[in-house]
Structures are given as C-alpha cells and as structure tokens.
Amino acid sequence: MSTGQWLIAPEGTTWFFDAGAESLDFAAAPEPVHGRDLGEWLAARYERLDATEASERDLTDARGLRAAITRLSIAAADQESLGPDDVDTVNLFGATPDIPPTLAGGRRQAGAGRLRTGQVLSTLARDIIAILSVEPERIRRCDAEDCRRVFRDESRTVNRRWCSMQRCGNRAKVRAHRARAAQALAG
C-alpha cells in the first residue's frame, strides 16, 4: 500500500505528507470528529471498506487508537519509554481480527467480502506494533522546530530530516540562503 496524504496547512495551502507508514499516516490525519470523517479517510485507503460503515463505537475506538499511536511514535522518536497504557491500547486492537491476506484467482469469496472498520483498526495497530518492535530507530521527527511531525524514515541511511522537502525542507533552505546573503552583506 502506498502511504501519504494531502493535508491543509494553517495558512490554507495543501501539501503532501508521507509519514512512511499506514499507522503514522492515520495519526497524522486530521482527528475524525464524525463517523463519516473516519469512514471516508479509511475507505479511501481500504477499498473493501464502505465509507458509511463506521459506527459511533468505531469512532471512539479510532480516536483512542489514533491518540495512542501518536504518543507512542513521539516517545519512540524522542527515545523515551513507551507509555504502558498506550502499549496496552495498541496491543488490544492488534489482538482482534485484521484484514486477512487474499490471493486473487480463486472461485470462492472467502476473505474477499466487505471489511469492518474494526478490522482496519486492527491492521493499523499491528502496523505500529511491527514498526516499534522491529525498527523503532526509523521513527523520527521533522527537524523544523515549529513542525516536529513524526514519520517513519524509509531512507537507506536513515537520514530523512523533513516531513516534506517542499514544505519544511524548502523553508530551511530559504532561511539558510537569507542568512548567507545577510552575512555576505555584513562582510
């Protein structure tokens, strides 16, 4: 599955943020206020899920899972210990049935029917569990002081600095350029 999503910045512009993992994209998305916010976000990524499937209970669950993923990923990026309550939360969701793998080309529909929101939440929980268990050092934060967004660094040398080159990377470049120009003038 490809990761990333378009977000709206405070100044109103849209920008693409790829958190490098489904679970981190989920945590980076705007907090779902209504079941339909949640349904639409998930259905855009999981094609066998109906956007209208999410119940109020699913919404409450999703908000709890999202908050736990957010806190755990920040703790991992800051090399702090993981909150036991948040660990319990992701483990609880991960222990329920997730999206089963299916192979195309069969005659039966086993495993190929509609998904339930709970299965998707379980898949997201298992995603963050796998990342935190295997390569927590890949969870990092944007270098920009006023951003600090969390992402999974997929680069071979683990040296991604910015949430987005077009956004924070570019702002840093402009700042560095201005500083050099000011120095040249002063010198």
Q: Which residues bind Zn ion (CB under 5 A)?
A: 142, 144, 147, 149, 163, 168
Residue closer to Zn ion by CB (options 126, 167) is 167
Residue closer to Zn ion by CB (options 75, 142) is 142
For 174, counting Cβ atoms within 10 Å of its Cβ (0-12 exposed, 13-18 middle, 19+ buried), the class is exposed
Residue closer to Zn ion by CB (options 42, 163) is 163
Residue closer to Zn ion by CB (options 43, 168) is 168
Q: Least distance from C-beta 142 to Zn ion, angstroms?
A: 3
Residue closer to Zn ion by CB (options 69, 142) is 142
Angstrom distance (rounded) from CA 27 to CA 69 = 6
Angstrom distance (rounded) from CA 165 to CA 177 = 16
Q: Least distance from C-beta 123 to Zn ion, angstroms?
A: 27
Q: Least distance from C-beta 166 to Zn ion, angstroms?
A: 10
Q: Least distance from C-beta 14 to Zn ion, angstroms?
A: 15
Q: Least distance from C-beta 29 to Zn ion, angstroms?
A: 16
